Structure 1
Amino acid sequence: MYRISELAAQLGLSRSTLLYYEKRGLLSGRRASNGYRLYGELDLQKVRLLQQLQAGGLTLSECKQALEAKLDRTVLSHRLAELEAEIAHKQQAHTLLSALLGHGSLRDWHAQADKLAPDAHRHWLEQQGFDEQQALYLKWLSKDMNEHDSYMADFMAVFHQLERWGPGSNTDTHKALTHVPFAPQTVLDIGCGKGFATELLATQTQAQITAVDNETQAIDSLAQRLKQQGLDKRVTPLCASMTALPFAPGSFDLLWAESSAYIMGFEAALNAWRPLLRPAGCLMVSDLVWLQDTPSEQASAFWQQEYPDMHAIAARLVQIEQAGFRVLAHFTLSQQAWADYYEPLKAEVKKQLNHQPESAALLDMAREIAIYEQYLGEFGYQMFVLQRTD
């Protein structure tokens, strides 16, 4: 026989726990003549069996039921389903915490966070030590803060060898310019890259032009070429963020944004940039769009991951009108404009993959090139020439 304190010591439980078990009918101690509660060997074994059942996640009520009658398989199945859900949740938590500590990929987590809370996600990245440029590059390129530095090193090793940093051609830029219904005097080229559109605008107009990009190397390259061509008196390269342009409302009569609005989001870019235009000023903006109603599964899956905000032309036209613009003209970027960008890119990626076959940045670029080669025509860049309405 065991007194309650002895039984508690045998089981590794507290005296209050045993008293609670007795209250619930799981134990039946009896009083000795001296007033002590006494328990037998069967009581000891019954609690040990109870502990084994509790290890399966059963509640005390379910354990009592299992001890006193035949097992209820419905109850057990329900409890098993709950435990499996809890395990799955814990595994997700484990995976995320491991990834935050640098022991796994954060790509899916960043993508989900950016979808659900884009502004808060960017602010959080800045708190982790990323400046605005790095946060934007992380969103659109590396997609993993733990791998960001090495990813961007490999990415820039390729792009510093390229002339063009995106699809485009002088022919398409000039075609868009011909739809501007006035001779512009003040022009802002937003996300100018190395400045191919900037140079054409400078040679085809007499405007004062400001060219903005947040990549220092591109701005320095443009400044050097402008000086060589004697265009530096009319063109001012500026390293700045397109999300916080340092200009007063109504500063320009023409805004030019080739392949850059996606960084902010097409609709957000229209709303943010419109105030910079004088009344009846024009905006030329290009964006990646679907050219087919039912694109291939592979192309759809790729761009859903890389550019979730991608839409058909009709949807963009609605957004343009809602943002306070009317469409003067729109046309699809030529295939030659894509080739002028992707062919040099493909050659450089192939060369560098020979030395770094496991590079995530190079493999991502190779996948994008494959999508371009197989599915261009299902998607494309659309050039929109717009005029501010007031």
Structure 2
Amino acid sequence: MYTVGKMAKRYGLSRSTLLYYDYIGLLRPIQHAKNKYRQYSDEDAEKLDKICAYREAGLSLKNIAQLLNSKNKSELATVLEQRLDELSEEMITLQNQQQIVVDLLNKSDLPDTCAMNKDTWKTIFQEAGISTKEMRRWHVDFERISPDKHARFLRFLNIPEEEIGIIRAWSSAPQKILKLKKASEDFMTSFFHIYENVDRKGPGDYQSTQRAFKLCKNLPDNPSIIDIGCGNGRNAIDLAALNNANIIAVDIYEPYLQEVQRNAKTAGLSDRIITQKADMADLCYHKESFDLIWSEGAAYIMGFDVALKYWKSFLKPNGYIAISEAVWLKQDIPEELLSFWTEAYPMMRDSKENIKAIKKEGYKILGNFTIPQCDWDSFYDSLETHINNLATQYTKGTDGHMIIELTRREIELYRKHKGYYGYEFYIMQNI
């Protein structure tokens, strides 16, 4: 008999993986001991051996369960043949990448690296006989095979960081999302429009804002504060209630800024909250302008790591940044949830990785905490009501309709798998 720990060690798996297999019914121990600990038999070990072999072949847990429960020997051959077809397609992808590189190298008039930019690169592709569709496919394959190198390559072309984030997002997504994001400006306009007049654009509350603000100790009496990706200004209003500073509220979408102005007027703060339309990845301020940079649930648009690096230049020495970011809170994420968020936000990771990124940029981490789950419940309840009221305004096949359907799916998966992801607030200091 094997305990969970011994079974995990034997097969090089984590204990939580075995517990998850038990939870989904893929591998349930033959018996439990009187003390309730799981005990695995030799038969269980043989079954796990098959599971590991199938996983190494790249089969999904769903397919593995199907094979283990099947008495039809031909079913294994069918599933393996399907996997072989998938591998063949991946090999073709690599061969296509290889051929494109060969075609580019065969060009005798490649420009010097100092002259390289996005337009030059597109011209090279066109002159090499590579279509726009093939170029898009090249980006998708590059991102999937080597995301870090793809990001470095895009920076080599001097593409703005926000645009790099958009390119990498649709490069990481399947065809359904690619079609949705093929015209990113139209997509973002539809996205912003759907979120107009939502009370909060994302999960959060006054208590979380207050908790994060209190970790920014030793701020001057009248600090310079900017709220980046301010939405309708709820966070800026909360910040104004916590100190006497004037706050610059920045967003790229004009209707949101109009909401900020209305909300600030209602709160009696029109003279202290200044709105400005600006791109968070192309700010016009002088270096070292702010004592505190605030951003709740917005940094993902340009990428958490990129935001840390770029915004730091606008921070005064010993100044603070407070950011909330979507993170995985558990391991062994259900496959349908992982699949959805791999499409929606492929760069989401756990908090430990975000803290590594914070320290890598030279910040001192002052604290971090998870926003309460009740804030997500409240946000999704409100958002669901809002999109249901909007649904009739968008015909099937439009960006708006697809965004609403994706949002409904997001809410459905959250309720089905509560606690697997959330917002983590990070408070750091420029040292």
* TM value normalised by structure 1: 0.65
In structure 1, how many angstroms separate the alpha carbons of the residues matched to 2:291 and 2:132?
A: 51
Answer yes or no: is the 8 Å Cα contact 1:113–1:121 preserved in 2: no
Q: Kindly, what percent of the aligned residue pairs are identical?
A: 27
Instruction: Say whether 1:383 aligns with 2:425.
Output: yes
Within the candidate set 170, 195, 202, 2:240 is matched to 202
Answer yes or no: is the 8 Å Cα contact 1:158–1:345 preserved in 2: no
Within the candidate set 281, 289, 295, 1:257 is matched to 295
Equivalent residue number for residue 311 of structure 2: 273
Q: CA deviation at 1:189?
A: 0.8
In structure 1, how many angstroms separate the alpha carbons of the residues matched to 2:319 and 2:282?
A: 20
Within the candidate set 359, 366, 372, 1:328 is matched to 366
Deviations 1:319-348 (A, max 9, x none): 111111112111101112212321121123
SS at match of 2:422: strand
Instruction: Say whether 1:181 aligns with 2:252.
Output: no
Instruction: Please tell me the residue identity of whatever aligns with 2:422.
Output: G
Answer yes or no: is the 8 Å Cα contact 1:214–1:239 preserved in 2: yes
In structure 2, how many angstroms separate the alpha carbons of the residues matched to 1:189 and 1:347?
A: 27
Q: CA deviation at 1:383?
A: 0.3
Answer yes or no: is the 8 Å Cα contact 1:110–1:143 preserved in 2: no
In structure 2, how many angstroms separate the alpha carbons of the residues matched to 1:123 and 1:353?
A: 42
Instruction: Please tell me the residue identity of whatever aligns with 2:415.
Output: E
Within the candidate set 410, 415, 421, 1:368 is matched to 410
Q: CA deviation at 1:266?
A: 1.2
Equivalent residue number for residue 169 of structure 1: 205
Deviations 1:58-97 (A, max 9, x none): xxxxxxxxxxxxxxxxxxxxxxx9xx969x96xxx9xx96
Residues 239 and 139 (structure 1 numbering): CA distance in 2 closer, same or farther, change over 3 Å?
farther
Q: CA deviation at 1:231?
A: 1.9
Residues 110 and 346 (structure 1 numbering): CA distance in 2 closer, same or farther, change over 3 Å?
farther
Equivalent residue number for residue 49 of structure 1: none
Deviations 1:166-215 (A, max 9, x none): 11111211111121112451111111111111001111111121111111
SS at match of 1:337: helix
In structure 2, how many angstroms separate the alpha carbons of the residues matched to 1:138 and 1:340?
A: 32
In structure 1, how many angstroms separate the alpha carbons of the residues matched to 2:408 and 2:156?
A: 31
Report how many residues are paired. 294
Q: CA deviation at 1:155?
A: 3.4
In structure 1, how many angstroms separate the alpha carbons of the residues matched to 2:225 and 2:413?
A: 34
Within the candidate set 151, 159, 180, 2:195 is matched to 159
Indicate the larger mover: 325-334 or 157-166: 157-166
In structure 2, how many angstroms separate the alpha carbons of the residues matched to 1:264 and 1:346?
A: 26
Instruction: Please tell me the residue identity of whatever aligns with 1:377.
Output: G
Equivalent residue number for residue 233 of structure 1: 271
Instruction: Please tell me the residue identity of whatever aligns with 1:326.
Output: K
Alignment of 1:41-190 (within 5 A): 112=141, 115=147, 117=150, 143-144=178-179, 146=182, 151=187, 154-184=190-220, 185-190=223-228
In structure 1, how many angstroms separate the alpha carbons of the residues matched to 2:374 and 2:322?
A: 20
Cα RMSD for the two superposed structures = 3.6
Structure 2 residue ranges without an equivalent (≥5): 1-87, 101-129, 171-176
Residues 298 and 277 (structure 1 numbering): CA distance in 2 closer, same or farther, change over 3 Å?
same
In structure 1, how many angstroms separate the alpha carbons of the residues matched to 2:200 and 2:361?
A: 30
* TM value normalised by structure 2: 0.59
Structure 1 residue ranges without an equivalent (≥5): 1-80, 101-105
Equivalent residue number for residue 8 of structure 1: none
In structure 1, how many angstroms separate the alpha carbons of the residues matched to 2:317 and 2:219?
A: 15
Answer yes or no: is the 8 Å Cα contact 1:282–1:385 preserved in 2: yes
Q: CA deviation at 1:259?
A: 0.8
Residues 226 and 340 (structure 1 numbering): CA distance in 2 closer, same or farther, change over 3 Å?
same
In structure 2, how many angstroms separate the alpha carbons of the residues matched to 1:328 and 1:149?
A: 37
Within the candidate set 281, 285, 301, 1:243 is matched to 281
Deviations 1:271-305 (A, max 9, x none): 11112222211111111111112211122111122
In structure 2, how many angstroms separate the alpha carbons of the residues matched to 1:119 and 1:219?
A: 34
SS at match of 2:281: helix
Instruction: Please tell me the residue identity of whatever aligns with 1:316.
Output: N
